[in-house]
Every structure is written in C-alpha cells, then in structure tokens.
C-alpha cells in the first residue's frame, strides 16, 4: 500500500496542486487499493488526475487508458511528459516502426500510462502483446460510450467486455461525465465490474447559469450578439447545428467586429487544428463550431457556451454546455432554440429504422423538449435527469428561477409565459442570490467575468499569454499544456521573482518549474522593463466587403468560396443578403434567364415569405440558392417601392 504522505507529495511534485478536488482523493485510494471503480464526475471535475496519480506512484507498472480520441490522447501525453511522467499512446497516427517501438518499451514496463483506442484494443494482436505489459489497472475514459442508452454509443466500446475474462486480476476503473442511472448500470454490467467502488459526484454545477430562450430565426442573431457583448473579450464557444450555419455565423459576427473562427468536420485537418490552437491560445476568443468540436478540449476558462439549436438530448446539452466554467468561475450557458429545431429532430427520429434505437431517440427527444419548455429550475431538471434528488427548489442561477437577464429582453416575445417576463431581473440582483445560495464568488454587474482576475494587470496578462503562445508554438504543444489560465492569472497576481516563488504557484510542479521557471522570470523582468504584447493584426477586410470586392473582380461563387474558405451556400446566402440590402445588383450571369422568370412568377403567386413553399412549387432542379437570390432581389424592389436599387458600390 502506498503511504498517504507519498500520495500528497506526488500531487504537489508532479501537478503542483496543494489539495484534491472533491472525491479525487478517495478515488485515488480505491485505485491504489486495487479496487474496481465506477466514477461519474462532471466535466472539469478532474477525472484524469484520478488515474494518472496512481500511475505516477506505481513504479514499474503501467495504467492502460482506453480513450476514444487521438487528439485527446496526444494532449494528455504532452501534459504528462511535461510533468515528468512517462506516457505513450498507440494509435493510427504513428508509423509501423513507431508502434513497434512503443510496444517493445511497454513490454519493458517503461511507461506509467499507455493510451490505447478501443479499436486498437479490439485487434486480435493487441491482447497478445498486452499480456507482456506489467499492467496495474485499466482506466476506461468516456465509459458511457459502451452503453446504447448513452447519447454517444460506440460499438467498438463493446469489445471492452472481453477485458475482464482476459485480465481477471487487473482492476478496471470506468470514468464518465454524463451517465444516467441506467447507463451506469450498463457500464458496470458490460465491463463486468465486481462490486466496484462507486463515486457519483453531483451533476450540479453552481457556477454555471443556464439561460434557455425560444426565438425565431429573425431574432436569434440579435440575441447572439447581445449574449456575446455580455462577455467582451472572454472565451466563448458557439454551437451551430450545421456547417453552413457555422460559416454564416462566423461571417455575421465578423461583420459586427467580433473576431471569430470556425470549426467543423469538413475543414481540412490542418485548418481545423490551426483554428483550434488559435482559440486555445486566446488569439481569437470566439469559436463557432458544430458538435464535432469539444470532445477532449481542455480549456478551463470558457466564460460562455451558446447553442443556436436544440441539442439531441439532455446529456448532450449538459456535456456541451458543461465546457463552460471548468475553472469553477461563473459562466453562462445560453440555449437559443427555435420551434423548427424540434420539428427537425422529430423528423430525423421518425427516419430511424431500428425500433429499439427509435424508442430511445424519442425518449431523448421528449426529455430535451421537456427541458426547454418546462417552467421548473433548469439546474434541478438536469440533476433530476441524472438521478439526483436536489434539496433546493430554486437555484438563482437559471432563467426560470431568476427570470431572463435584462440583456436578453426582447421586443419580440414569442409564446413564452408571462410569468417569466414579470420575473425579469438584473444580473446584479442574481449576483447576490448566487453568492448566498452556493457560496461562490459573486458576479460583478459590469464586466463580471473579470471577477476571477481581479488584481491582474491586463497588460501583463496579455504579455504572458503572448509568451505562452510563442513557447507553445516552438514546442508544438497546445498553449494550456505550457500552463493553464488559472496558473497564468496567479503568476500575474503574485509576480514571483525566484524559482521557489514560481514553484508555489498552483500548477507548477517540479518539472514544469524546471522547464519554464527561468523563462517566466525573464519574461516578468522584460515586462517590468516595459516590454508589451504585440497587437494582433485585424483582418484586412470584413467578410461582406471582401465578397463584394471579389464579385466586382468578376469571380464566380465557387471561386469566392474557394478563396474565402467557405461553402458555396454560405457565399450565396451572403450575396443574397447584399442584394436585399441594395449593396449588390442581381447579375444575369448568376442564373439562367428562364429560371429567373419562373422563380419570379412563383414568388408573385406564393409571396416572399417561405422559401420552402416556393421551392416545393418549382421543379427539383431549381436550387434554394437560386430562389434565395431572386427572392432577395424582389424584396429589394418591394422595399424601394418598385424602384430599382441604387447602383452597387463597385459599379459606380
């Protein structure tokens, strides 16, 4: 048995932390004691440390971590390596030779942790060489993927059921952030855990404020802007339902002077990685992504997560929204949904063939619909969904309990209860309530998200962030691997002038201090000698201006899409807006004359309100893009009272 003092010493030595987060210590003890375990802990709870710390302490032995994402494995290994803990992964990004080398070293017990994907574990040859590895235990990350009742079922996780027979002596510990009671039972059954120690942390995240708002497409963008303006300069994730919506939203925000980057599955992997890094290193604060973004993202200081459509399930929402406020400081989770999202979800659910899966999907649909339409506390609903029975009735940190924040007040109110409007309160009213209810740091009414950085010189913060960015680039690791935001802010507050001083900053273990300590001291000296961060250059032109310039050069939509790194749909949609605003004229070269006449006739008959109705009335070869362009032109004519629009700027 590892002595208690050694456990705390390792926490300090490797991680540079003074204390455990709730449950961590007991989980570490269970694992060190060779017990099976099932751990459910919300995002940001600190799950990885629970198996990494035992791994660091069990010399000559190896923890096998099953993890679904290569990027996640790589980031964890980069962090462990920086802490001086030997770790490696086996995945498809390695060459054959590199894989053989990892397998050879693993057989010699050289790694404290070895990360393996579930697909890799399922391969016939893997179990053979694993026999030679001195395994201390198996840690299964994202364990809910094993259950069909979970929202992210992955068939390859089912292979993990074989671990128990094959390695009956080795403890298995399952970790997940989102599991209902049913999914928990499923995990325990599937992995054949024998009387496991169960650690179920509360799903209550008191530092998060849930705000759910039904809106229409016309008002959603305005609400998005308002939400973002509540958090100027702070890190935000916006989730959009489709790639086209991601691109449109990025263009819309840039148009409104909010630097933004996109992230979606169809981007080439280099751009995706670069965009992710720019966001991770605070170069650009707002990222708009599809749900492909986020798994394995370890950015603790996200101040808001905004959804532009209804998620598929409460678990999915909880997981995505939960990427806000992992540092424990206040953060907002804003869900701006529309009735048509629900119709779309219902449509996809109807299309599912497998009866059992269809039944589960309907259940998820009913639950999420119930969540957004219910008039009871959002925090409470989420906790209840995961099988908790919260003591409080009212949380003071959601739109139901505290009313809509003032900034969300809309002139257009769509079918929401009157009760809500009358309960509308200001942020500052809520501030005190949260503080009283949950004992967390109260929000400030203005710029409240700077609350956690009080005492931090913003110029020093920018300077150290720039240093971190450059250092991370040189070392080819994400910026947070060099240090987390919380450590960076503490450095700014303390401004240590010796290595011993740096070592006292949370997050600076022995090795990290060795690696960066002197560089940080030098950077602090340079700052005292008036060095400052360089200004990040603004983009040369805004999306609409750039698009108009390219149109004026005679570029086709497809060329513009290529140049601007967007889908053609996104470009056409922007051009249609420009036509409607009278900034650009509809060009004959954009669509066939006959088609234009037919669309104009259909619009005259059916009105300009519903593109879908017009599309359905025309033969299938008429695209939405063509219809949108012509409709935009007609709307412009209507606005001008049948006068032709002003000549477009480029034609003058």
Binding site for ligand ADP (CB under 6 A): 17, 20-21, 24, 41, 43-49, 298, 300, 326, 484
User: In this structure, are residues 565 and 271 in contact, taking their beta carbons and an 8 Å threshold?
Assistant: yes
Q: Which is nearer to ligand ADP, 31 or 49 (CB)?
A: 49
Q: Which is nearer to ligand ADP, 45 or 68 (CB)?
A: 45
User: In this structure, are residues 568 and 557 in contact, taking their beta carbons and an 8 Å threshold?
Assistant: yes
Q: Which is nearer to ligand ADP, 199 or 337 (CB)?
A: 199
242 φ, ψ (degrees, to nearest 5): -135, 165
Closest CB 228 distance from ligand ADP, rounded Å = 24
Question: Which residue in this structure is represented by tokens 């110029």?
Answer: 459
Q: Which is nearer to ligand ADP, 9 or 343 (CB)?
A: 9
Helices (H) and strands (E) in the chain, counts: 30, 13
Closest CB 328 distance from ligand ADP, rounded Å = 8
Closest CB 187 distance from ligand ADP, rounded Å = 16
Q: Which is nearer to ligand ADP, 278 or 326 (CB)?
A: 326
Closest CB 79 distance from ligand ADP, rounded Å = 8
Residues 6+ apart with CB under 8 A from 166: 127
DSSP 114-143: EEE-HHHHHSHHHHHHHTTS-EEEEEETTG
Cα–Cα distance for residue pair 181/401, rounded to 1 Å:
26
User: In this structure, are residues 45 and 201 in contact, taking their beta carbons and an 8 Å threshold?
Assistant: yes
Q: Which is nearer to ligand ADP, 327 or 341 (CB)?
A: 327
Closest CB 326 distance from ligand ADP, rounded Å = 5
Q: Which is nearer to ligand ADP, 19 or 650 (CB)?
A: 19
Q: Is 111 helix (H, G, I), strand (E, B) or coil?
A: coil
User: In this structure, are residues 536 and 248 in contact, taking their beta carbons and an 8 Å threshold?
Assistant: no
- Calculated CA dihedral for residues 610, 615, 618, 620, nearest 10 degrees: -170
Question: Which residue in this structure is represented by tokens 């200001």?
Answer: 426
Q: Which is nearer to ligand ADP, 298 or 313 (CB)?
A: 298
Closest CB 158 distance from ligand ADP, rounded Å = 23
Question: Which residue in this structure is represented by tokens 């973004």?
Answer: 293
Q: Which is nearer to ligand ADP, 237 or 246 (CB)?
A: 237
Tokens (6 digits) for 329: 């400081």
Q: Which is nearer to ligand ADP, 294 or 582 (CB)?
A: 294
Q: Which is nearer to ligand ADP, 24 or 190 (CB)?
A: 24
Cα–Cα distance for residue pair 292/168, rounded to 1 Å:
36
Burial class of 499 by CB neighbour count within 10 A (0 to 12, 13 to 18, 19+):
middle
- For ligand ADP, the nearest residue by Cβ is 46
Closest CB 489 distance from ligand ADP, rounded Å = 13
Closest CB 410 distance from ligand ADP, rounded Å = 34
Closest CB 65 distance from ligand ADP, rounded Å = 12
628: how many CB neighbours lie within 10 A of its CB? 22
Tokens (6 digits) for 94: 């390695």
Closest CB 479 distance from ligand ADP, rounded Å = 13
214 φ, ψ (degrees, to nearest 5): -85, 140
- The residue among 566, 580, 584, 576 whose CA lies nearest residue 626 is 576
Closest CB 3 distance from ligand ADP, rounded Å = 19
Q: Which is nearer to ligand ADP, 481 or 550 (CB)?
A: 481
Q: Which is nearer to ligand ADP, 68 or 645 (CB)?
A: 68
Tell me which DSSP letter residue 346 carries: H
Its sign, for the CA torsion 602, 604, 608, 610, is negative
- The residue among 70, 69, 87, 22 whose CA lies nearest residue 50 is 22
135-140 and 62-66 strand pairing: parallel
Separation in Å, CA 262 to CA 19, 245, 323, 515: 37, 10, 17, 33
Closest CB 21 distance from ligand ADP, rounded Å = 4
- Calculated CA dihedral for residues 325, 327, 328, 330, nearest 10 degrees: -40
Closest CB 448 distance from ligand ADP, rounded Å = 22
């Amino acid at each position: 048995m590892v002595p208690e003092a050694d456990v705390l010493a390792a926490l300090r030595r490797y991680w540079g932390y003074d204390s455990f987060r709730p449950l961590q210590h007991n989980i570490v003890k269970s694992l060190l004691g060779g017990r099976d375990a099932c751990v459910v802990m919300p995002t940001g709870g600190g799950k990885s440390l629970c198996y990494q710390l035992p791994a660091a302490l069990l010399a000559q032995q190896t923890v096998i971590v099953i993890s679904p994402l290569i990027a996640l494995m790589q980031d964890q290994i980069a962090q462990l390596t920086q802490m001086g803990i030997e770790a490696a992964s086996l995945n498809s990004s390695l060459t054959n030779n590199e894989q053989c080398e990892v397998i050879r070293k693993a057989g010699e017990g050289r790694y404290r942790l070895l990360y393996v994907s579930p697909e890799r574990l399922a391969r016939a040859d893997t179990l053979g060489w694993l026999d030679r590895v001195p395994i201390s235990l198996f840690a299964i990350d994202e364990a809910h993927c094993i259950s069909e009742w979970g929202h992210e079922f992955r068939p390859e996780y089912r292979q993990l059921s074989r671990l128990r027979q094959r390695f009956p002596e080795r403890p298995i510990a399952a970790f997940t952030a989102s599991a209902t009671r049913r999914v928990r039972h499923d995990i325990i059954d599937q992995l054949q855990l024998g009387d496991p120690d169960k650690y179920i942390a509360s799903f209550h995240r008191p530092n998060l404020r849930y705000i759910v708002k039904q809106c229409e497409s016309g008002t959603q963008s305005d609400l998005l802007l308002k939400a973002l303006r509540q958090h100027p300069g702070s890190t935000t994730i916006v989730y959009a339902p489709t790639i086209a919506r991601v691109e449109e939203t990025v263009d819309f925000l840039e148009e409104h002077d909010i630097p933004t980057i996109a992230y979606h599955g169809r981007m080439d992997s280099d751009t995706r990685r670069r965009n992710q890094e720019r966001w991770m290193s605070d170069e650009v604060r707002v990222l708009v992504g599809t749900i492909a973004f986020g798994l394995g993202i370890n950015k603790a200081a996200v101040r808001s997560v905004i959804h532009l459509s209804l998620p598929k399930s409460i678990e999915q929402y909880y997981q995505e929204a939960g990427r806000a406020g992992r540092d424990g400081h206040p953060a907002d989770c804003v869900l701006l949904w529309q009735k048509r999202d629900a119709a779309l979800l219902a449509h996809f659910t109807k299309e599912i063939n497998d009866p059992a899966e269809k039944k589960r999907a309907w259940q998820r649909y009913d639950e999420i619909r119930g969540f957004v339409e219910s008039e009871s506390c959002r925090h409470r609903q989420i906790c209840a969904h995961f099988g908790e029975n919260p003591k409080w009735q009212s949380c003071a940190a959601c739109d139901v309990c505290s009313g809509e924040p003032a900034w969300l007040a809309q002139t257009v109110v769509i079918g929401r209860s009157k009760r809500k409007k009358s309960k509308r309160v200001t942020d500052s009213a809520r501030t005190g309530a949260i503080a009283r209810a949950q004992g967390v740091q109260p929000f400030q009414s203005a710029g409240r998200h700077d609350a956690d950085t009080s005492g931090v010189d913003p110029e020093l913060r920018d300077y150290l962030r720039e240093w971190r960015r450059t250092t991370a680039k040189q070392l080819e690791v994400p910026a947070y691997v060099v240090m987390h935001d919380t450590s960076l802010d503490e450095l700014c507050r303390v401004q240590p002038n010796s290595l011993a001083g740096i070592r006292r900053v949370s997050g600076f273990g022995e090795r990290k201090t060795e690696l960066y300590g002197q560089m940080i001291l030098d950077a602090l000296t340079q700052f005292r000698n008036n060095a400052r961060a360089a200004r990040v250059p603004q983009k040369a032109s805004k999306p609409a201006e750039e698009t108009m310039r390219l149109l004026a050069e005679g570029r086709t939509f497809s060329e513009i899409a290529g140049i601007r790194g967007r889908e053609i749909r996104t470009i056409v949609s922007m051009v249609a807006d420009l036509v409607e605003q009278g900034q650009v004229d509809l060009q004959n070269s954009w669509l066939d004359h006959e088609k234009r006449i037919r669309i104009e006739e259909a619009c005259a008959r059916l009105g300009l309100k519903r593109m879908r109705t017009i599309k359905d009335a025309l033969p299938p070869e008429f695209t939405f893009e063509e219809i949108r362009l012509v409709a935009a032109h007609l709307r412009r004519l209507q606005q001008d009272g049948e006068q032709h629009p002003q000549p477009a700027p480029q034609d003058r």
